[in-house]
Amino acid sequence: MSAMLEVKDLRVSYGKIEAVKGISFTVDEGQVVCLIGTNGAGKTTTLRTISGLLRPASGSISFQGKRIDSTPAHEIVQLGLAHSPEGRHIFPRLTVEENLLLGAFARNDTAAIKDDLQAAYDLFPILGERATQPAGTFSGGEQQMLAMGRAMMSRPKLLMLDEPSMGLSPLMMQRIMSTVKTLQSQGTTILLVEQNARAALKLADHGYVLEVGHIVLDGSGRELLVSDEVRKAYLGED
């Protein structure tokens, strides 16, 4: 079976600085795959390149067997690949519901959009309770729920989440991670970038460790959790 997402020898540069240095990895359908590493490792750059916000210097990105490394970002969304970015990037003056509907910008199936709006409210009840409230009045955790709900409104086959637990309380972080598992059980494939390596690896079917633009380790989430190298460098254990 071919991978849903296949990244081969990907290189991405900002001017003369090479941020991603020839990485290769795959995400199979139905999996949660995580990328972990310190700040500056190239994780966010990788997601931004997959979603078409950046262009690679070289290498290839294929989604469901189709090359997408020169495809415009809005067409990548239409193919079924959504990106919930680091920092959430919600629209604070728009209502919760207006933010969610922006996630369905490329769709015209009105009845199905209404169903998916209800699905977002079922997944995150607080969004439904405050549908008419300006999104900027939400807490960080509530904004993260909104960002994830908005990404799901495009009906993605693969959802990329960039640092979904950043700045959240431990309780809210657990809730977001539990939602990732729920989305997987509903059939969504997940590519997760997460600073909290322990939480990510507990969820992940497979994980990749990035250091300064290179993949230095990979294995199942369980294997990486017990790896001495990972435990010392990323889990704060001796």
The predicted pLDDT at position 88 comes to 67
Contact 21, 213 (CB under 8 A): yes
Question: Residues 142-166, buried b or exposed e (16+ Cβ, 10 A)?
Answer: bbbbbbbbbbbbbbbbbbbbbbbbb
The predicted pLDDT at position 231 comes to 86
**Domain 5-234, CATH 3.40.50.300 — does that match?**
yes
The predicted pLDDT at position 133 comes to 94
* Chain center to CA of 84: 5
The predicted pLDDT at position 96 comes to 94
Q: What is the pLDDT along the chain (238 residues), one digit of tens a residue?
A: 569 999 999 999 999 999 999 999 999 999 999 999 988 899 999 999 999 999 999 999 999 999 999 999 989 999 999 998 887 688 999 999 999 999 898 788 889 999 999 999 998 899 999 999 999 998 888 888 899 899 889 889 999 999 888 877 888 888 888 889 999 999 999 999 988 899 999 999 999 999 999 999 999 999 999 998 888 887 766 5
The predicted pLDDT at position 162 comes to 92
d(CA 78, CA 152): 12
Which DSSP string corresponds to 35-68?
A: EE--TTSSHHHHHHHHTTSS--SEEEEEETTEE-
d(CA 144, CA 125): 13
Contact 193, 162 (CB under 8 A): yes
Closest CA to 190 of 141, 143, 148, 232: 148
Contact 100, 149 (CB under 8 A): yes
Would you list the domain boundaries of the chain? 5-234
8 beta partners:
60
